């Protein structure tokens, strides 16, 4: 007998197993320390910033934007698989139960965003509305929970519509209306009623749109699920090797042409050549490097304390070069690198040179941020600190990791 | 005359399981030797020992008098290896595979540029020069391996089942190049199941069965050993396995 509830349980367990395995990679010691450091810094400055908040600050707008976004952002994961459209399509009627369960799961799972955002915004609310009580705030959170449930269900229903533009358009309008609801609610205007009526009109319109469609759009659902999974893997791949992602290749023709042109045609350039091309093309090395460089640059630019800027400089250098170590192991299943008539030492040496260079390049980029801030002394400090870090980290840590 | 490849009393295999027992044979320059045997006979293990992926437990392998232990770099330089399953870098184009191989084997750029066009022509891969392996068929992947080996023109070719997956034109080009290299003085050890083809192109055969050498020699010598004149390599091979089963 086919039981949709059992099937859902099975798929959910599979998914949890997968999450478990990868989350362990993500939340390893290094990453947690970095994360904690960043969160603490942000919260300290958030607190300070709140205390000197000017009365003209459009707090209602900011709160409405955040809450509106949170209740409208409802990605749905239904754990469908490619073969389902062949095997389960005959059971579409029974599958309703399955999808009900998946909606419940998605709602409960997404609640963490609501809680994080409402916890983060609570101090701001208390600061700008001193006359309001905690109860008032909880009412807003409660409304957020309701609206989120409603939006989630609507998102689900809208999957029956195959037009991507219609779905996108509907999502954008509902997001804007949700924001408007919070905004009018916070301003306590009567206008809130108008907005809510508008929202229901929209809901009724959607209802009639959907009613005209028969059956589920399996293709869309499955594609949606695969995309969700792919973006999860992409996220994880920032922290660990993801075997499911083996075939992600970016051609990057200009950069590779440059490498082919620049690297001399010489025996000793063999591994430098291989590492450069792999860095440019395979999975995510280059994009991770650029992401962390840009992010680090922004953080260094905006963190108010100069010494803290330097601390972040080292933190980002560390995070980047730590990630890059996996480039060395990128070809561990490829026997050619063992068969080339080249000493194994050359391979480690080439890698150490390469990682030193890209870390130094990043150091210079980070140091340039201090030039942009016209902090010339700290520009020097940054360079020296980056140099010392690069030398020590690569000689003491990376070298041990890549010695064969 | 010193043999090109000399294997004497090789016993080896994986860490806790011996696959090969006391194997001895050699290859001279200008000679194509077929390594024949059923699945699991030890052909691939023999090859892994020669190219240095496995270490011998006893016995010795020398190429032009050199062992892997004494001088791994110059030992490896002698070998061009064509694996049964193509092994490619997903991130490298055909051109970059060839360039990397040439650099690794210390070819100079002029030699590389001089050898490249003829290979591309022969294996009809000119159009695919800047393609990535994801777009290659099994046969094309195999051709990449073959081209890499012929590009470096080593003194010894170690070839594991070259014919599977290649189209007839590809097989013909492979054979032409192999013969050309042989005439230039290279030696070839080729493992294969396609006995009819092996019979035509190999000068000698080494027949491996359950980790020991059951017979070796030219086709004529094998026929005499088995007392089957007129027999093809296929007949001889089937006869041999029949004998084994009767024991």
**ipTM for the assembly:** 0.91
Among A165, A200, A235, the domain boundary falls at A235
Same domain (yes/no): A96, A59: yes
Check CB contact under 8 Å for B92 and A277.
Answer: yes
Mean pLDDT of B28-38: 93
- The whole-number average pLDDT for the span A134-156 is 89
Residue A9 shares a structural domain with residue A115: yes
Q: In this predicted model, what pLDDT tens digit does every residue of B164-201 receive, in sequence order? A: 889 999 999 999 999 999 999 999 999 998 899 899 99
Is the separation of the CB atoms in B105 and B78 below 8 Å?
A: no
What is the DSSP code (8-state) at residue A282? B
* Most confident option among A248-262, A309-323, B104-118: B104-118
Shortest alpha-carbon distance between residue B85 and chain A (Å)? 11
Say if residue B10's pLDDT is above 70: yes
Residues A56 and A60: their CA atoms lie apart, in Å, by 11
Do B211 and B219 meet the contact criterion of CB atoms below 8 Å apart? Answer: no
- Cα Rg for chain A, rounded, in angstroms? 26
Residue among A260, A270, A334 minimizing CB distance to B104: A270
Whether the Cβ atoms of residue B96 and residue A277 lie closer than 8 Å to each other: yes
Tell me the residues of A at the B interface, defined by beta carbons under 8 Å apart.
246-247, 249, 251, 256, 260, 265-267, 269-270, 273-274, 277-278, 281-282, 331, 334-336, 338-343
Please, what is the average pLDDT of chain A? 86
Inter-chain contact A265–B106, Cβ cutoff 8 Å? Answer: no
Same domain, A199 and A77: yes
Q: Give the span between the Cα atoms of B176 and B121, in whole angstroms.
A: 13
For A26, the domain range is: 4-235
Gap between the Cα atoms of A355 and A70, Å rounded: 40
Q: Closest-CA residue in chain A for B75?
A: A341
* Domains, chain B: 5-246 (3.40.50.300)
- Chain B residue with the nearest C-alpha to that of A332: B89
Examine the domain organization and report whether A348 and A252 are in the same domain: yes
Closest residue on chain A to B109 (Cα): A265
Is the same domain home to A306 and A373? yes
Element (H, E) at B20: strand B17-27
Neighbours of A79 (CB within 10 A): 20
What DSSP string describes B114-174?
HHHHHHHHHTT-STTTT--GGG--HHHHHHHHHHHHHHH--SEEEEE--STT--HHHHHHH
Cross-chain CB nearest to A267 (options B51, B87, B103): B103
Angle at B107 between CA A255 and CA B3, to 5 degrees: 145
Please indicate, yes or no, if residue A242 is contained in any of the structural domains: no
Find chain A residues with C-beta within 8 A of B155's C-beta.
Answer: none
Cross-strand pairs, B207: B36, B215
The conformation of residue A249, written as its DSSP 8-state character, comes to B
Number of domains in chain A: 2
Residue pLDDT, tens place only, B97-142: 999 999 999 999 999 999 999 999 999 999 999 999 988 999 999 9
Question: CA of A81, closest CA in chain B: separation in Å?
Answer: 24
Check B132 against A249: CB less than 8 A apart. Answer: yes
| CA–CA gap between residue A207 and residue A158 (Å, rounded) | 9
Same domain, A25 and A87: yes
Beta bridge partners of B208: B213
**Domain final residue pick, A235, A266, A295:** A235
Q: What are phi and psi of A336, to 5 degrees?
A: -60, -40
Question: Is residue B159 pLDDT above 70, yes or no?
Answer: yes
Residue A391 lies in a domain: yes
Average pLDDT rounded to a whole number, residues A291-300: 90
Query: Of all residues in chain A, what percent carry a pLDDT higher than 90?
Result: 31
Please provide the DSSP assignment of A104-147 as one string: HHHHHHHHHHHHHHHHHHHHHHHHH-TTS-HHHHHHHHHHHHHH
Same domain, A63 and A189: yes
Which residue is associated with the tokens 């953080």?
A299
pLDDT at B247 > cutoff 60: no
pTM for the predicted model, two decimal places: 0.74
């Amino acid at each position: 007998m086919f039981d949709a509830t059992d099937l859902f349980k099975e798929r959910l367990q599979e998914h949890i197993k997968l999450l478990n395995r990868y989350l362990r990679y993500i939340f390893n010691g290094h990453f947690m320390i970095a994360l904690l450091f960043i969160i603490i810094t942000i919260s300290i400055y958030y607190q300070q910033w709140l205390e000197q908040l000017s009365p003209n600050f459009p707090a209602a707008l900011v709160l409405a934007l955040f809450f509106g976004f949170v209740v409208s952002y409802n990605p749905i994961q239904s754990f469908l698989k490619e073969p389902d459209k062949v095997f389960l399509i005959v059971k579409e009627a029974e599958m309703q139960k399955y999808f009900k369960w998946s909606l419940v799961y998605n709602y409960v799972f997404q609640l963490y965003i609501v809680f994080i955002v409402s916890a983060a915004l609570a101090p701001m609310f208390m600061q700008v509305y001193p006359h309001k009580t905690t109860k008032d705030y909880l009412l807003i959170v409660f409304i957020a929970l309701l609206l989120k449930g409603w939006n989630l269900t609507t998102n689900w229903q809208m999957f029956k519509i195959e037009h991507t533009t219609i779905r996108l358009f509907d999502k954008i309008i509902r997001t804007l209306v949700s924001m408007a609801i919070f905004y009018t609610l916070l301003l306590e205007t009567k206008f809130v009623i108008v907005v809510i009526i508008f929202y229901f009109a929209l809901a009724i319109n959607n209802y009639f749109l959907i009613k005209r469609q028969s059956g589920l759009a399996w293709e869309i659902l499955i594609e949606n699920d695969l995309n969700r999974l792919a973006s999860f893997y992409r996220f994880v791949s920032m922290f660990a090797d993801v075997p499911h992602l083996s075939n992600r290749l970016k051609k990057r023709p200009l950069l590779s042409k440059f490498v082919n042109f620049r690297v001399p045609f010489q025996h000793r350039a063999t591994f430098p050549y291989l590492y450069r091309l792999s860095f440019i093309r395979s999975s995510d090395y280059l994009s991770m490097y650029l992401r962390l460089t840009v992010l680090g640059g922004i953080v260094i630019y905006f963190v108010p304390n100069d010494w803290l800027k330097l601390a972040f400089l080292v933190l980002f250098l560390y995070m980047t070069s730590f990630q890059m170590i996996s480039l060395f192991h990128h070809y561990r299943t490829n026997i050619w690198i063992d068969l080339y008539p080249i000493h194994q030492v050359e391979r480690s040496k080439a890698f150490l040179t390469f990682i030193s260079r890209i870390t130094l390049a990043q150091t210079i980029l980070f140091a340039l941020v201090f030039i942009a801030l016209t902090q010339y002394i700290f520009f020097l400090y940054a360079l020296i600190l980056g140099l010392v870090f690069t030398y020590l980290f690569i000689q003491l840590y990376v070298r041990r990791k890549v010695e064969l | 005359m010193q043999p090109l490849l000399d294997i004497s009393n090789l016993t080896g295999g994986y860490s806790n399981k011996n696959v090969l027992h006391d194997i001895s044979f050699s290859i001279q320059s200008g000679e194509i030797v077929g390594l024949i045997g059923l699945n699991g006979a030890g052909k691939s293990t023999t090859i892994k020992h020669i190219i240095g992926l496995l270490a011998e437990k006893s016995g010795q392998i020398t190429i032009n008098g050199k062992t892997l232990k004494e001088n791994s770099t110059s030992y490896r330089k002698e070998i061009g290896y064509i694996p049964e399953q193509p092994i490619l870098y997903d991130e490298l184009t055909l051109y970059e595979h060839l360039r990397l191989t040439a650099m690794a084997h210390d070819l100079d750029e002029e030699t590389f540029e001089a050898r490249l066009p003829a290979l591309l022509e022969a294996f009809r891969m000119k159009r695919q020069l800047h393609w990535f392996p994801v777009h290659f068929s099994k046969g094309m992947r195999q051709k990449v391996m073959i081209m890499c080996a012929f590009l470096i023109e080593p003194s010894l070719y170690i070839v594991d089942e070259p014919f599977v997956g290649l189209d007839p034109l590809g097989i013909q080009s492979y054979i032409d190049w192999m013969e050309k290299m042989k005439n230039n003085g290279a030696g070839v050890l080729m493992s294969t199941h396609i006995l009819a083809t092996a019979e035509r192109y190999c000068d000698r055969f080494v027949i491996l069965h359950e980790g020991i050498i059951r017979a070796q020699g030219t086709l004529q010598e094998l026929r005499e050993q088995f007392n089957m004149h007129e027999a093809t390599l296929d007949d001889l091979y089937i006869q041999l396995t029949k004998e084994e089963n009767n024991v």
